[in-house]
Structure 1
Amino acid sequence: MKKLRDTIEHYVLKMENHWKVLPIAKQRLLTKVFFGGYVLLTIIVIINVFISTGQRRNTMSINHIDGISKKTTGKGSGYYDIVHSPTKK
Structure 2
Amino acid sequence: MKKLQAKMDRLLNKFDGSWKVLPLKVQYKYLLIFFLGYALLTMGMILKVVHDTRKSNQGIIIEHIENPAIKKNESDTSLWDSLLMIKKNKTNERK
Please classify the TM superposition score into its range, dividing by the shorter chain length. Answer: 0.7 to 0.9
- Spell out structure 1 runs of 4+ moving beyond 6 A: none
Output the CA distance in 1 between the equivalents of 2:55 and 2:66. 30
Larger radius of gyration: 2
Q: 1:66 to 1:11 in 2, by over 3 A?
A: closer
1:13 is aligned to 13
Which residue of 2 is the match for residue 71 of structure 1?
73
Out of 2-11 and 47-56, give the one that drifted further.
47-56
Unmatched segments (≥5 aa) in structure 1: none
The Cα offsets for residues 37-79 of structure 1, whole Å up to 9 and x where unpaired, read as 111111101101101111225554444566632422434337x
Cα distance in 2 for residues equivalent to 1:15 and 1:37: 21
In structure 2, C-alpha distance between the alignment counterparts of 1:3 and 1:39, rounded to whole Å: 36
Match of 1:40 in 2: 40
Change (3 A) 1:65 1:32: closer
Letter in 2 for 1:35: F
Q: 1:81 to 1:16 in 2, by over 3 A?
A: farther
Number of equivalent positions: 84
Asked whether the 8 Å contact 1:19–1:27 carries over to 2, the reply is yes
Q: Matches of 1:8 and 1:81 in 2, distance apart?
A: 56
Mind listing any 5+ residue stretches in structure 2 that lack a counterpart? 88-95
Question: Matched residues in 2 for 1:65 and 1:31: separation?
Answer: 46
Identity of aligned residues (%): 31
